[in-house]
Amino acid sequence: MIKVSVKWQKELLKDVEIDTSQPPYVFKCQLFDLTGVPPERQKIMVKGGLLKDDADWSTLGVKEGQKLMMMGTADEIMKAPEKGPVFVEDLPEEEQVVAVGHSAGLFNLGNTCYMNSTVQCLHSVPELKSALITYSHSGRSNDVDQSSHMLTIATRDLFNELDKSVKPVAPMQFWMVLRKKYPQFGQLHNGVFMQQDAEECWTQILYTLSQSLKLPGSSEDLDTVKALFGIELVSRVHCQESGEESSETESVYSLKCHISHEVNHLHEGLKHGLKSELEKASPSLGRSAMYLKESRINGLPRYLTVQFVRFFWKRESNQKAKILRVEDYFGWYTLRISVQAMFDFPTHSDSRLCKTKVDYPLELDIYDLCSDDLRKELEAPRQTLRDEEGKKLGLNASKDSAGSKDNDVKMSDAEGSSSGSGEPSLATSQEAGPSDCKTHMTGIYDLVAVLTHKGRSADSGHYVAWVKQESGKWIEYDDDNPITQREEDITKLSGGGDWHMAYICMYKARVVPI
């Protein structure tokens, strides 16, 4: 063991020990600790030239106290970060929402899961939130009653609170205003607020917002809610007995998936839902007769809502029917209801739940449910997207008809809306963004929210919302407890057991640029 001094730049390192029993590389490692110059960059002058990593010390003639010269640049010294680590819980609440990747849950105020799940699904619609932001306290139209105005304000404020909070939110103000507007949601049983039907809550909230969020100077057909959720239907009404036939148009906010033992998939149920029988007076027969009503979609919404008709009445209860299907001893049949029946609620003893498993897709194509005129308008946008998809796959542009369901393609998110004019509608974007790009509908929709029910009746059990975030991940909103879920588990909520089963599905349209 000998000691030497090493001159490096302006520094002189004294009494550096050399273990001559070890190769020079060990000595270079010592110098690295002292100077920060990596061994591969060190150039040390010794007898005969530069010191090599595997040289033999005995042949180099290094003596005690000898001064060696080293050249080389040191690695940059690591600097301490200007800011220390910041934990999510230390961020401002608005930034915590961004970091977490989803909005807050909602406290259950006592059998209010039906309301919480409805709010979480509707809150996922950015265009609806944008419309609510522009709605002011003083902006109430003379056509909007005070209770509707207050419910719209409460909805806006609750959506805003959910966006800014990571901690669960108590929707007390919203619930109070909802009960004031629709007293049925304030029903008590033994002094406790009763569970209610989430579909009824969904319908009433959208109806209120449709009245409040009409564009200034616009007709009813151009209100914001109808632009987002309105589905234009054209129907053929035919009496086989008299041969009478007529057509009619109407606007609805959801499609019904009618469930029977023969229906195993959403698409089949939708086809059943577009056909119905009704009894009305026949001018030619001079009496009531049965008519067959067959409907087709003639205008597409940005957000397509589908209700699974799972709840029905006991025939022997002899009460007004809220649900569209009942069961008797001879099988399944459809029952048309009056508008007044929408406001009736079943008792715990009278309602039943159909647990039939009905599969639904992540991607829904409703092209074959559209009218002939609308199909013609859909063909060009669908073909354009198939060609673009083919180019991505290195294939030649397809010459097949756009009506083929075997050529489904990936398309951008919808920003369009139905024209609401009764004419076949390919929606164009009203919120096209900086590029001001307008878009056409394609008839293809992506699943973005599912409202499920677990239990034996609409006015009991438990409701949960499953919502797709902008990042693509799914969040299960079980009241105040948001839980991340896998996309492949979402389609398992199709019924057939005691697990959560889909009651309402919301799909977002795919569009193509004009």
According to the 3-state scheme, what is the secondary structure of 342-400?
HHCCCCCCCEEECCCCCECCCEEECHHHECHHHHHHHHHHHHHHHHHHHHHCCCCCCCC
Cα–Cα distance, 67 to 154 (Å, whole number): 83
26-62 core/surface letters (b: 16 or more CB in 10 A; e: else): ebbebbbeebebebeebebebeeeebeeebebeebeb
CA–CA separation, 514 and 428 (whole Å): 8
Q: Which of 102, 113, 149, 272 is catalytic?
A: 113
Backbone angles phi, psi at 125, to 5 degrees: -95, 105
Active site annotation includes 201: no
* Alpha helices (H) in 245-324, listed in sequence order: 266-273
Q: Which residue has the tokens 């029977």?
A: 260
DSSP label at 425? B
Task: Give phi and psi for 307, each to the nearest 5.
Answer: -105, 130
Specify whether 462 is catalytic.
Answer: yes
Considering only CA atoms, give the Rg of the chain: 35
Find where tokens 């001064």 sit. 67
CA dist., res. 433 & res. 437, Å (int): 7
Residue from 238, 261, 462, 505 carrying the catalytic annotation: 462
Tokens 């273990």, residue? 19
Enter the tokens of residue 241.
């007995």
Hey, which residues are catalytic here? 113, 462
